[in-house]
Amino acid sequence: MSKGGNNMEFTAEVNRLLQILTHSIYSNKEVFLRELISNASDACDKLRYISISQSDVTIDELKIKITVDSSKKTISISDNGIGMSREEMIENLGTIARSGTKTFIENMSKDDDATSQIGQFGIGFYSAFIVSKDVTVLSKKFDSEEVHLWSSDGTGTYNVQQIKDKNISGTEITIKLAKDAHDFADKQIVQDTIKKYSDNINFPIYLSESSSIDGEQINTAGAIWAKPKAEITEDQYHEHYNLLSRNFDQPLSTIHYKAEGRFEYDVLLYIPTTRPFDLFDQQRKAKLKLYVKKVLISDDTDIIPPYLRFISGVIDCADIPLTVSREILQENNVVLSIKKAIKNRIISTLNKLAKDDKDKFDIFWEAFGPVIKEGIYEDYEKKDDLLKLIRFKSSNTKDGYRSLEEYIGDMKPNQKSIYFITSEDYHSALANPLLEGYLARDVEIIILTDPIDSFWTATGIKFEDKELKHVSHGTEELTDIAVTKKAKKKKSKAKITDSDLKKLIAEMTRVLGDHVSEVKINPSLIDSPVCISIGENVYDKTMQKILQQRQGISLSKPVLEVNPNHDVMIKLSDMFKNKQTKNINTTAHILLDYALIMDGEKPLNIEEFGKNMQDLIGKFN
């Protein structure tokens, strides 16, 4: 460890991370090389952008150089990119800014193989400590004369000092390899690793055994997006996708084309197979790099709408002025036009995938369905196209998905609307008594179990002119549809007269008082005595609970619907006639609690519920 300079302490998270990295045995140690090369490439991208947007900055050919020393067992990675000042070294190589990353580190353990995840959490630099306890970084910021040396042995502290007699441009990272990583001082092994993980890096990577010569260039360094499709292998796409997305799954689908028209640009986009860890981050941004003639000008645009943020890729357009400031980039005409075209292209690709490859689309839907649903209420213009993508389980299918088109195709004669229920899970939804009337008529019910379903379905959706209706709101239309299944229980021969029924409903309304907003008849109930429904123009439960949490809006009272033909109701009506006030009171409360439970809720008041149940059981003989 160098003497002089300042000894500084790593933050607690960095410390924990280093503890784990230096003490674990990882199977794929080579990730450190991929991460450091990716940082070197980022540094070159940044300097290239500066040199183009600021006319007073001139630069040499940007490149990355790797030097291995098999006798000293060291490897160094250097670049002539943007470099770091002393402050930047402290900021970037001593702390961790992102809160998501902090949580990741807190949950990390020595036994997991964290190596594949390191890059996506913005802690790639520290991967050097997977292969070493002794790392030094020499760096000079492009617009300064001062060179600084950062060094650490991977324990609690690091040292930063100014070096007077050194002249470098950019950054040089030198790693003294630990015993179990001596392989990375071998030229051939390093060359193979770079070929495998970093061939797509956009700057030449040279490899040599001496710092005084460049050695040979070992990567292709071509902008893969500008090449004709036929010249690119699956593996090359795969590697490029991994590089961009920081995820290590296979792309599920690749969109690669040259747009020709008013503006010309290359587009290379990837649809992932699995969810990236940050899919539900507040930022809701896609990993998209915007190039102008192979110069990276921004990796933080809003070209991809938030509900397609799982996409990663590259757009390279020669028609955007290179000097456009990042602030006004979003309003640039060319960018706006690209934005629109790209969105259409992604959605049409997804629609095509849904038609051509159902299995693949199901994988896509499992991972990204909830995100696509955000688009239905965020992007009015695309709503109909997005509705075509929607997949769901229904009362007709346990496994596999259905689409709205399929639903419409299988509608029953006289069926007016598309019916759905929102629920926490498929089986509870199916057990909800509200479904009885539908099931008896073999009318398909869409079962929606994502929290987001309560949002998009609340926006008055129509598909091919058919309204999407919550099962609570469709019971009246059901009477026009023929019953196909007989009720499981035989209907009681006795019947309540209309006037008795009216009285009974009035009595239940009185007894249940403030606990319900309404008690009413539901003639389509079959096996259940009662059920809960939601009133007209009232949000579903999930939505109501969210609004309650966020805005303090109180929940609306449930509507209790009763089955006029059910034995229990007939008994209740008799109790009423015989003035058994206490029994009516207990039964009405038990019925309300029963209905709440069948709707996935808790009884109104657990203590009373318990008492009422005991009362009831006490009556058995």
**The only residue of 37, 39, 221, 421 in contact with ligand ADP, by rule CB under 6 A:** 39
Eight-class DSSP state of 473: G
Instruction: Show the binding pattern over residues 76-95: x = contacts ligand ADP (CB under 6 A), - = does not.
Output: ---x-xxxx-------x---
C-beta closer to Mg ion: residue 124 or 170: 124
Residue 251 touches Mg ion, criterion: CB under 5 A: no
Name the DSSP letter for residue 202.
S
Element (H, E) at 167: none
Span of 17-25, 117-125, 369-377, 471-479 interacting with ligand ADP by CB under 6 A = 117-125
| Nearer of residues 246 and 373 to ligand ADP, judged by Cβ | 246
Residue 119 or 437 with smaller CB distance to ligand ADP: 119
User: Between residues 142 and 419, which has the closer beta carbon with respect to ligand ADP?
Assistant: 142
125 touching ligand ADP, by CB under 6 A = yes
Q: Is 277 in the site for ligand ADP (CB under 6 A)?
A: no
Number of residues this chain uses to bind ligand ADP (CB under 6 A): 16
Shortest spacing between CB 66 and ligand ADP, in angstroms: 12
- Kindly tell me which residue out of 81, 83, 124, 170 binds Mg ion, with binding defined by CB under 5 A: 124
Q: What residue 583 binds from ligand ADP, Mg ion, none (CB within 5 to 8 A, per partner kind)?
A: none
**Residue 268's beta-bridge partner residues?**
256, 314
Choices 122-130, 314-322, 474-482, 501-509 (CB under 6 A): range interacting with ligand ADP: 122-130
Q: What are phi and psi of 230, to 5 degrees?
A: -65, -20
Q: Which two tokens stand for residue 105?
A: 């580190």
- d(CA 297, CA 219) in angstroms, rounded, equals 23
Residues 13, 39, 40, 508: which binds Mg ion (CB under 5 A)?
39
Beta-bridge partners for 445: 419
Beta-strand pair 287-292/312-317: parallel
CB of 123 to Mg ion, least distance (A): 8
User: To the nearest whole angstrom, how small is the minimum distance from the Cβ of residue 125 to Mg ion?
Assistant: 6
Q: Which of the stretches 36-44, 103-111, 147-155, 555-563 binds ligand ADP when contact is defined by CB under 6 A?
A: 36-44
Binding part of the chain for ligand ADP, among 121-129, 157-165, 341-349, 603-611 by CB under 6 A, reads 121-129
By the rule CB under 6 A, 62 interacts with ligand ADP: no
124 is a contact residue toward ligand ADP (CB under 6 A): yes
**What does DSSP say about strands 6-9 and 64-69: parallel, antiparallel, or unpaired?**
unpaired
Region label for 2, one of left (φ > 0), alpha (ψ between -120 and 50) or beta (otherwise)? beta
Say which entry of ligand ADP, Mg ion, none residue 82 contacts (CB below 5 to 8 A, set by partner kind): ligand ADP
Q: How many helices (H) and strands (E) does the chain have?
A: 20, 23
Q: What is the DSSP string of 258-294?
A: EE-SSS-EEEEEEEESS--TTTT-TT---EEEEEETT
- The whole-angstrom separation of Cα 591 and Cα 574 is 16
Q: Say if CB 267 and CB 346 are below 8 A apart.
A: no
Using CB distances below 5 to 8 A depending on partner kind, what does residue 62 bind out of Mg ion, ligand ADP, none? none
Based on the shown chain and the rule CB under 5 A, indicate whether residue 171 belongs to the binding site for Mg ion.
no
Contacting ligand ADP (CB under 6 A), which of 35, 436, 453, 599? 35
Residue with the shortest CB distance to ligand ADP = 124
* Sole window of 33-41, 349-357, 504-512, 565-573 interacting with ligand ADP (rule: CB under 6 A): 33-41
Q: How far is the CB of 41 from Mg ion (least distance, A)?
A: 9
The answer to whether 244 and 314 are in contact (CB under 8 A) is yes
- List CB contacts of 380: < 8 A, sequence separation 6 or more: none
Task: At 272, list the tokens.
Answer: 């992932």
β partners of residue 391: 403
Question: What are the tokens at 201?
Answer: 């890096």
For 549, the token pair is: 């949490």
Whose CA is closest to 318, among 262, 362, 381? 262
Q: Which is nearer to ligand ADP, 77 or 268 (CB)?
A: 77
CA atoms of 209 and 76, how far apart (whole Å):
10
Identify the CA nearest to 139 among candidates 125, 154, 149, 152.
149
Please tell me the distance from the alpha carbon of residue 475 to that of residue 480, in angstroms, as a whole number.
10
Q: Does 403 bind ligand ADP (CB under 6 A)?
A: no
Candidates 132, 159, 171, 247; binder of ligand ADP (CB under 6 A) is: 171
User: Does 122 help bind ligand ADP (rule: CB under 6 A)?
Assistant: yes
Q: Please give the backbone phi and psi of residue 75, each rounded to the nearest 5 degrees, phi first.
A: -135, 140
- Binding residues for ligand ADP, rule: CB under 6 A, are 35, 39-40, 42-43, 79, 81-84, 92, 122-125, 171
- Binding residues for Mg ion, rule: CB under 5 A, are 39, 124
